[in-house]
């Protein structure tokens, strides 16, 4: 029996293989036959005898085929193909949703170096800070404090507290209620006004303003929701206002 005939008879017994699997099995059997024949040739066998002895050693091709068939159960083929279909579907969905990557970048910058523009026109003092408070699954971060005037109300001095929020996991979803429920109060307990911001699913930014009077040295950051409470004193930069 020739090598090719042997492989054909083995593969004929394998009914449920894919073309790739058939090619792999053929290559494997070919390799075994080749190795066996090489060994016999090295021992001095003639090529015809080496082939004859190799074919005999390989065994009955139909029996070999039946034995191999059992190594290829249908359920694994179906599972593998379902996995491929799912992966392709996920990639297509990812292509359609690629615009979300901008939000991921937001999440990264909020963690590393948030730097939204200040709305202060006349700044007396400003300071970058790094206060991070865990709130549920999110992180509330104060990254800049400034004392100055926005110019909206003449003569009004304010503290500007720049905040951002992001999920504790990189790329995770942040609560859109976190910054909206956060307040900044001055020493007299007067609450802040929100000075605008921007947000996405992955990061939120805002600025809070609290009115100041001469001699004020700190403002307090407060958050309370769903039984969770945050209270922080933030020292104003510079010497405040005089």
Partner 1 sequence: MKKNVLFSRRRTALRRILRTLVCLLLVQHILGVGLLLPRQAIRQVEQRSGVTGTRVVARRWMPKLYATHLLYLTENEAATQLCDTHWTIFGWEGGFGWTLDCTTGEPLYIAERSMSRSDETLWYYYGRVDNVRIADISVSVQAEEFADGKSVSREVDRFTAAKGDWLTKEGRRYFLLRQADGTWPYEQERRRAFAVALDAEGKELFRQEIEQGTFSYY
Binding site for partner 1 (CB under 8 A): 21, 24-25, 27-28, 31, 34-35, 38, 71-73, 76-77, 79-80, 83-84, 86-87, 89-91, 93-94, 96-98, 100-101, 104, 135-138, 167, 169, 171-178, 201, 225-228
Nearer to partner 1, 136 or 211 (CB): 136
- The Cα-based distances of 25 to 61, 125, 131 in angstroms read 13, 76, 62
Nearer to partner 1, 89 or 191 (CB): 89
- What are phi and psi for residue 155, nearest 5 degrees? 80, -5
Nearer to partner 1, 104 or 232 (CB): 104
- Minimum distance between the CB of residue 187 and partner 1, rounded to whole angstroms? 28
Nearer to partner 1, 63 or 100 (CB): 100
- Minimum distance between the CB of residue 241 and partner 1, rounded to whole angstroms? 35
- Minimum distance between the CB of residue 129 and partner 1, rounded to whole angstroms? 23
Nearer to partner 1, 17 or 125 (CB): 17
- Minimum distance between the CB of residue 218 and partner 1, rounded to whole angstroms? 27
Which three-class secondary structure string do you get for the chain? Answer: CCHHHHHHHHHHCCCCCCHHHHHHHHHHHHHHHHHHHHHHHHCCCCHHHHHHHHHHHHCCHHHHHHHHHCCCCHHHHHHHHHHHHHHHHHHHHHHHCHHHHHHHHHHHHHHHCCCCCCCCCEEEEEEEEEEEEEECCEEEEEEEEEEEECCCCCCCCEEEEEEEEEECCCCCCCCCCCCCCEEEECCCCCECEEEEEEECCCEEEEEEEEECCCCCCEEEEEEEECCEEEEEEEECCCCCCC
- Minimum distance between the CB of residue 14 and partner 1, rounded to whole angstroms? 12
Nearer to partner 1, 98 or 112 (CB): 98
- Minimum distance between the CB of residue 217 and partner 1, rounded to whole angstroms? 31
Pairing of strands 203-211, 218-225: unpaired
Nearer to partner 1, 124 or 140 (CB): 140
- Minimum distance between the CB of residue 209 and partner 1, rounded to whole angstroms? 23
Structure tokens at 197: 């911001």
């Amino acid at each position: 029996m020739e090598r090719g005939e042997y492989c054909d008879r083995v593969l004929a017994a394998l009914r449920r293989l894919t073309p790739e699997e058939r090619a792999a099995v053929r290559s494997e059997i070919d390799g075994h036959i080749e190795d066996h024949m090489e060994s016999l040739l090295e021992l001095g066998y003639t090529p015809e005898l080496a082939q004859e002895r190799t074919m005999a050693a390989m065994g009955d091709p139909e029996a070999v085929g039946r034995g191999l068939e059992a190594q290829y159960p249908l359920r694994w083929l179906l599972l593998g193909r379902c996995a491929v279909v799912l992966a392709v579907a996920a990639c297509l969905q990812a292509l359609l949703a690629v615009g979300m990557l901008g939000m991921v970048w937001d999440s990264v910058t909020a963690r590393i170096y948030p730097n939204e523009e200040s709305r202060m026109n006349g700044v007396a003092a400003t300071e970058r800070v790094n206060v991070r408070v865990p709130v549920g699954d999110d992180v509330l971060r104060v990254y800049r404090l400034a004392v100055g005037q926005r110019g909206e109300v003449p003569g009004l001095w304010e503290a500007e507290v720049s905040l951002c929020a992001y999920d504790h996991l990189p790329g995770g979803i942040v609560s859109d209620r976190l910054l909206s429920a956060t307040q900044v109060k001055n020493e007299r307990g007067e609450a802040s006004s929100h000075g605008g911001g921007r947000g996405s699913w992955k990061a939120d930014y805002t600025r809070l303003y609290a009115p100041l009077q001469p001699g004020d040295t700190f403002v307090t950051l407060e958050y309370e929701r769903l039984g969770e409470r945050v209270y922080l004193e933030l020292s104003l930069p510079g010497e405040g206002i005089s």
